[in-house]
A and B are shown apart, each in its own frame.
Chain A
Amino acid sequence: MRKNQSLTGSVDWPLLIVVLLFMAMGIATVYSTAYNDDHPSLFDFSMVYGKQVMWVGVSLFLGILVFLIDSDIYRKFAVPIYGFSITLLVIVLFLPAKNGAHSWLGFGNLGIQPAEFAKIAVAILLARVLSDLNVNQQNIRTVLLTNAILLLPMALILLQNDAGTFIVFTSFLFVMYREGISYDPLILGLVNRIPGIRFKQTWLGTHFIPILFVVIFLSITTLLLSKETITLGFLPGEEFPGFYGLVFFLFIFCLVGYALLRLILSKRDRGRALIIAVIAFVLSTTISGAVNFGFDSLQPHQKVRIELFLGIIDDELADQAKDGEDYNRNRALAAVGSGGLTGRGYKNSMLANTRTGHVPESETDFIFCAYAEEWGFMGSVVLVAMYIFMMLRIVKIAERQRSRFNRVYAYSVAMILFYHCAVNIGMNIELAPVIGIPLPLFSYGGSSMMSFSMMLFILLKLDSQRKDVLN
């Protein structure tokens, strides 16, 4: 009966509280954004806020269910859960498209997105496979198996035309990295075919994923900023190319990074830290510069294609530019930027609400700008800090697990949240391309609310039972 006693006793309260806080703040923001004078009640289920209240209710109910179920079933039934999820992903492909994507499994008026739940299924199966494997023995089979678990749903999701969720699945790569999956077998398999070369290990293969992430992040940021100009409040009239601003920030980051490292490191390592900081700056500037000037030398139609993908321009641009107006992202940026230090105040937004409609999707994918416009820099920074806290808390939870299954699962949750937050908030502040994925526990939407809740409640359940598990 120890299990039952631990139902509440060993729950990770900080995580649970922050989850509930996000749900409450999300409802408050959806209410303010979509508020309609004719339907003032928060519980008016004909309005999105009423529905959001309902979805949160359903999600909490699911959470309680999760708590009542023995967490061992996930491990046991990892393969059937994965199989069921893949089946759903296949089924939706044959259903009529909604908003241009075959991602909805409809039940009457309601619908769910199987892709949202596939994340949980993949997390569980990956946890199961990695905990069963002896990863200390790196071989091609390990790499291929783990990647295959990932690639199957990703391929199906790509067929659904849902680029956002597709990208989110790459977050599992970080989990695999943490667990020691190395791409070295693949890289060595290629490199060592060249006569005269026989590496035992490559730095690139071992740290393939973080390197890839940094390169992609830098490239995208460079492209997003390449068209912008930077103006400084204290230097009116002066305009700098966005690239210079990026280089400047890279420099500051390396400097700050080095300064922080100096505080931690012993004297012996300080010299190495300096070298790493310099190399990091030079490398990142080089990559960024190469992308920046490489992009400039592309043909115009190639540029447009890339810009379309990144959401620097979108299809609606052609239409909206005619009015001398700007497109969605610009609207979102204006909403965020106009928030100022303290914001316009709750329910007082000018741009990001459904009444004026200047920012489309202001209750779903662009909800961050609605929040930022109302609460300003103070509120936005608190929200960002809360998300960072949540992720770091989950990493902490992950690291304290005895079972490898639990740890992999926890890291999966942390990294999925990380992707969602980084991309969603990033696209509101021109640091990420416009990819339609929701802000976890905050954006309006049943599927994402339910899937994130289940994901987190499973984690809380696993964590609360961590002491029961031996391996």
Chain B
Amino acid sequence: MKYDGRKYVIITFITLIGIIYAFKLFYMQVVDDSWKLRAQEIAEKRREITPPRAVILDRNGKKVVENKTYYNLMMCEDEIVDLDTAAFGKLIGWTREEIRERFKEIKTEQGKFRNRQTGKMESNYRSFRTYPFLKEMTADEMSTIVPHLEQFPGFREEVSSMRNYPYGNAANILGYLAEANAEEVGPRKFYKNGDYIGRAGVERYYEEEIRGKKGIKYVVLDAVNDKVASFENGKYDTTAKQADPIHLGLDIELQAYGETLMQNKKGAIVAIEPKTGEILTLVSAPTYDPNLLVGKKKIKENYPDLVNDENKPLFPRPLASAYMPGSTFKTIQSLIGMQEGVITENTGIPCNKSVVGCHNHPSAQNVTQAVQMSCNPYFYAVTRRIIHQKKSKNINEDAAIGLGKWAEYMHSFGLGKKLESDLTGISSGVIPDPKYYDKWYGHNNWRFSTIRSISIGQGEVQLTPLQLANVAAIMANRGWYITPHVVKSVGDSGPLERFRKKNYTMVDRKYFDPVVEGMRRCVHEPGGTARRARIPGITMCGKTGTVEDQRELKGGKLLKRPNHSVFICFAPMDDPKIAVAVFIENAGGGGGTWAAPTASLIVEKYLNGEICEQNKPKEQRILDAKLSLWE
């Protein structure tokens, strides 16, 4: 036949296709591995299971931070059948308009991403996926809705865990959580979209210790990302593990008491256990209830109010606010003077009011009396002697050498430098050194008379209440401190290594006794400035401070506001269990008027567990006081 040869064309075609397909199959299935990876990407997903965060306990084992179950009302558009918006709105207490808005919001705002095809930002909303319609509801709120959900197919409840603060205190220590931001979230990072991360306080500093270990579950998924089966019978799965509890040095009852005392005032109370450096109480006034910042909904609701509050409740005053320490500073000045040998324990200096103002009191015959009576001219003289030791013929150079040495002493007291604590947002305060004044006045263009206000803790000197409390702890320990910290132990591991180390000051142990004695007299002797701090049966050592608050406004006008009231103390004198610093802004009067009684109440509450009958009026007076130009 004429065309019989053409059968070979057809046979060739068929055979060729067979060979080509076999080649291609070989390449795809045997040579090229990329499809296998792709298949795994599609079908096997790592599901991460986030454990609840570690609970946080106070020094007496009371739960300060725990986890509470919350509920989300989830919705899946594809499963919704004839939604009766009126009835549904009635159930959840919304208007039809609000419901419609919420649907729109979910559809347009859900997981925005850049579309590769169009280059536009689009929502990755899918009608077959489930999204939270109402978030973070309590069991009570949910219990009224759940029985009726059957009438609304497409809606169901979902359980989630969030922080809860049974005491509602210590917000500035504990901090708060917020959703991890775009930089913290990633495929190889711990956090995934929607995960919470510590944003302040202990929650932030101990984030890695608190967050626990995520569990990983490998699952085989179907096309709409619903789990179908576990992968290889869970061979590679790991379980989520909640971290061990965090033990705080904090005494939550004392903290709560301190916060109550500081109501209607601005300022700070810091109490430290001197032997361990554990922070017993750290009150930042005003404060806020940490429960206000739990979950996205509440943060959105309350955070702006807290940020905009003129009294700045979010600002951790004990850590970040640096104040002039006033006369409390004199304790350190006398120690440095003795260590430097410019005075002795028995050096007497007349109270010469022509140098600087002072109250009426007999001239101090020794260091103890000087501290007791808080004699301003005495400490002018002491500080001048420290600064000008005639180590250089040039008086200005001499001042620089002296101030340099002085600043070194101050640093050894943890001042003018950041305390390496376990709290975030710590300020270093200010201890001026020669460089500092060089910048102000020009190199070697200043001397003691230029900077003399630092002698009595005014002028350029600034301390945070935490540093001030640490000074009290140093006095209690007679010469050393352990860096103040809030966390006593993570699980059973005990304090961090650096919170076991004693930091010695540059002043020898022996020089502390006269100063401490002066502090005792401040409280217990007639003529002491802190008589309001007396507690029956407890020997307390304290030092008041009164800080003038005046500054020049533009145009040379002087703005004078009520004095800050400062007090540092520790007790009992011979076996100190607590060291306290109290700073009340613009309280008026002196350090003995407001700060001293407040500190004594803290000490009494801590040591005795209650306030004695005799001191009840004192307590009431503090509770009633509305100070600090409170708005």
Contact = CB atoms under 8 A, between A and B. Distances in A.
Contacts of B116: 321
23 contacts: A207-B9, A210-B13, A232-B31, A233-B32, A321-B115, A321-B117, A323-B124, A335-B39, A336-B29, A337-B28, A337-B32, A341-B29, A350-B39, A351-B39, A388-B18, A399-B7, A411-B10, A414-B10, A415-B10, A418-B14, A421-B17, A430-B24, A431-B20
Interface string A328-351: 001101111111110000000011
A326 B6 CA distance: 43
A46 interface: no
Interface string A378-421: 00110011011001100100110000000000010011001001
A398 B223 CA distance: 46
A116 interface: no
Contact of B29 (A249, A380, A422, A426): A380
Contacts of B9: 177-178, 207, 210
A178 B28 contact: no
Contacts of A350: 39, 43-44, 220
Chain A contact residues: over half helix, strand or loop, or mixed?
A: helix
A22 interface: no
Interface string A434-460: 000000000000000000000000000
Given A392-B14, A429-B28, A431-B20, A340 B42 contact: no
Contact of B18 (A318, A334, A340, A384): A384
Nearest to A339: B29
A12 interface: no
Given A350-B44, A399-B4, A429-B21, 13 more contacts: A178-B3, A213-B13, A231-B34, A321-B115, A321-B117, A337-B38, A338-B36, A341-B29, A341-B30, A356-B43, A372-B29, A421-B17, A422-B17
A106 interface: no
A136 interface: yes
Nearest to B25: A380
B19 to A, nearest CB: 8
B560 interface: no
A316 B220 CA distance: 23
B204 to A, nearest CB: 32
Contact of A376 (B10, B29, B33, B222): B29
B553 interface: no
Given A231-B34, A318-B117, A337 B13 contact: no
A210 B25 CA distance: 25
Contacts of A355: 222, 228
Contacts of A337: 28-29, 32, 34-36, 38-39
A179 interface: yes
A377 interface: yes
Given A231-B34, A358-B42, A418-B17, A431 B10 contact: no
Contacts of A430: 24
Contacts of B303: none
A350 B10 CA distance: 38
A395 B32 contact: no
Nearest to A181: B3
Interface in B213-227: 220-224
B357 to A, nearest CB: 74
B14 A395 contact: yes
Nearest to B29: A377
Nearest to A249: B23
A334 B159 CA distance: 36
A169 interface: no
A357 B16 CA distance: 33
A355 B33 CA distance: 25
B6 to A, nearest CB: 5
Contacts of B18: 384-385, 387-388
Contacts of A323: 124, 126
A426 B23 CA distance: 12
Nearest to B115: A322
Contacts of B44: 350
A233 to B, nearest CB: 5
A417 to B, nearest CB: 9
Nearest to A175: B10
Interface string B563-589: 000000000000000000000000000
B77 interface: no
A174 interface: yes
A425 interface: yes
A304 to B, nearest CB: 9
Interface string B129-142: 00000000000000
Contacts of B224: 357
B122 interface: yes
B30 A340 contact: yes
A325 interface: yes
Contacts of A422: 17, 21
Contacts of B23: 249
A442 to B, nearest CB: 15
Nearest to A359: B223
Given A210-B13, A372-B25, A381-B25, A356 B30 contact: no
B2 interface: yes
B223 to A, nearest CB: 4
Contact of B35 (A136, A180, A336): A336
Interface string A236-277: 000000000000010001000000000000000000000000
Contacts of B124: 322-323
B29 A384 contact: no
A2 to B, nearest CB: 27
B128 to A, nearest CB: 11
Contacts of B13: 174, 210, 213, 418
A21 B221 CA distance: 33
A426 B42 contact: no
B327 to A, nearest CB: 66
B625 interface: no
A391 B25 contact: no
A155 to B, nearest CB: 26
A177 B23 CA distance: 28
B81 interface: no
B355 interface: no
A334 B35 contact: yes
A231 B35 CA distance: 11
A116 B77 CA distance: 39
Contacts of A357: 222-224
Interface in B294-328: none
B113 A174 contact: no
Given A249-B23, A358-B222, A179 B29 contact: no
A326 B13 CA distance: 32
A333 B35 contact: yes
A340 B14 contact: no
B29 A392 contact: no
B356 interface: no
Contacts of B558: none
B22 interface: yes
B22 A322 contact: no
Interface string B101-129: 00000000000010111000010101000
A232 to B, nearest CB: 7
Interface in B40-67: 40, 42-44
Given A178-B3, A321-B116, A321-B117, A333 B10 contact: no
A233 B31 contact: yes
Given A334-B35, A337-B35, A425 B29 contact: no
B630 interface: no
A431 B16 CA distance: 13
Given A178-B6, A179-B3, A322-B124, A388 B15 contact: yes
B94 interface: no
Contacts of B559: none
Nearest to A178: B6
B26 interface: yes
B11 interface: yes
A179 B1 CA distance: 10
A421 B14 CA distance: 10
